[in-house]
Amino acid sequence: MVMTLPEEFVKYTKELMGDERFETLMEGLKAESPVSIRLNPMKCDIANTAISGKRKDVAWCPTGMYLDGRPNFTFDPLLHAGTYYVQEAASMFVAHVLRQTVSHGVTMLDLCAAPGGKSTVCRTFLPEGSLLIANEPIRTRANVLSENMQKFGHPEVIVTNNYPRDFRKSGLMFDVILADVPCSGEGMFRKDVDAIAGWSVQNVENCRRLQREIVGDIWSCLKPGGLMIYSTCTFNAHENEENAAWIAGELGADFVEIAVSPEWHVTGALAGSNPSYRFLPGTSEGEGLFMTVLRKHGDADTPIRTAGFRKRNRKPAMPVSLPLVGSDGFETREKGDTVVAVPKRWADVYDSIVGCLNVMHAGVTIGTRKGKDIVPNQSLALSALLDRSRFACVDLDYAQAIGYLRKETVVVPDGTPKGFVLFTYKDTPIGFGKNIGNRVNNLYPQEWKIKSRHIPEQKEFIHKKNETIS
């Protein structure tokens, strides 16, 4: 791969890294990006799952693995079902950070979360009794985040579409904040030629300032003694070590050291000596992640503001029998005709957040009232807690599943009961339809459908270990 990098970038980066490390980086940037995925333990039995083309595990994430090549993920129904997530391996390092630093239930904010890779990692490895708020300021990206979190299927998640300053005004407080801040994207050079074209010294400076503004706006929402996980996908020290030092010195925090194995080839700080973790192409198998962890000064037991958690008067929801496993642990809320189930232990937090932030998804969206019926929502189909016994189920073959995901008409077997039908692929739910006798209405979300008319050659790479592959 021929790659022409800006002269200013080359000069600065060589000075930062030294000649040998810089040359290793350049060789890494010429190589193909590794392909990696992360399995969703709520959607598959990982110990009983075989991956065709698996090269090796991702050492710092128990559910991650590298693949030999890149399957046509778009045409895999199990991707749309949330069985796995396609993610570059370095970004999975946040799993290792959480496993080392968080041992009990917490309230966590992923501040700049789209498209949802790190949020799904965090939700997988947060301890029982935790709530994750996944936020994205840009509306179009927040739509993608909401879709991916619903596909992931965990009920203790709230997706919001707000700017950091909105959280500051809300009075909400968090035990952990992940600030994966917008950056100059140097770590994306080998994957995205636009990242090279858009690079400039001025853009690096603009990003450095924006990152400080973002962290400054959200800092008051981090509890005393709380953790800030700061990360970028860029190489320069201005946006990385220098900004981390600014957070510690100006806002008040101590760095937290994370133990890593030498075999992972994680690079430490390139400016200063504060604990930092870099994944440099050519040295480690990743796309340029920088991450550091800071603990905010103050006693974790210090009384905190509670303005954002005031109970709000709300109209009681009409009774509804929830098709969820463990339904006694949920309360229902209604927004217009939409019925939402939220975990009881987070109901007050949900009510508070709805009052001060733009909530795009929370808990499990059960469905929409239409006459005497509740039309089941895709969120329910993909929930890890869906009670499948409440619906007639039809398992689709590969061609039928792709047709369903394209929002085409699906033919069901004779004798299928009328009413709402749950469609599955390889016994994994992918969505609902309504059998009205002479046809089946496809209820897959229009905005989620596969738009390509390409007829793919079926190539399955995820299957149960005892499954016969056709």
* Active site residue ranges: 233
Half-sphere exposure of 188 (CA within 13 A, CB side): 14
> Comparing C-alpha atoms, which of 114, 107, 171 is closest to residue 141?
114
- Whether 57 has a binding-site annotation, put simply, is no
- Whether 179 has a binding-site annotation, put simply, is no
Beta bridge partners of 354: none
Sign of CA dihedral 74, 67, 34, 91: positive
CA–CA separation, 103 vs 128, rounded Å? 9
By the 8 A CB rule, do 114 and 136 touch?
A: yes
Provide the terminal-to-terminal Cα distance of the chain, rounded to the nearest Å.
Answer: 37
CA–CA separation, 176 vs 294, rounded Å? 10
By the 8 A CB rule, do 243 and 230 touch?
A: yes
The separation between CA 133 and the C-alpha centre of its own chain, rounded to angstroms, equals: 11
Q: Are strands 222-232 and 131-135 parallel, antiparallel or unpaired?
A: unpaired
- Whether 30 has a binding-site annotation, put simply, is no
- Whether 323 has a binding-site annotation, put simply, is no
- Whether 115 has a binding-site annotation, put simply, is yes
- Whether 259 has a binding-site annotation, put simply, is no
CA–CA separation, 106 vs 261, rounded Å? 27
Count other C-beta atoms under 10 Å from residue 334's C-beta: 16
Tell me, what DSSP letter sits at residue 283? T
CA–CA separation, 421 vs 214, rounded Å? 45
Residue type, 463: H
- Whether 180 has a binding-site annotation, put simply, is yes
Instruction: Collapse the DSSP code of 251 into the 3-class scheme (helix H, G, I; strand E, B; otherwise coil) and give the result.
Output: helix
CA–CA separation, 168 vs 181, rounded Å? 17
Annotated binding site: 112-118, 136, 180
Binding residues for S-adenosyl-L-methionine: 112-118, 136, 180
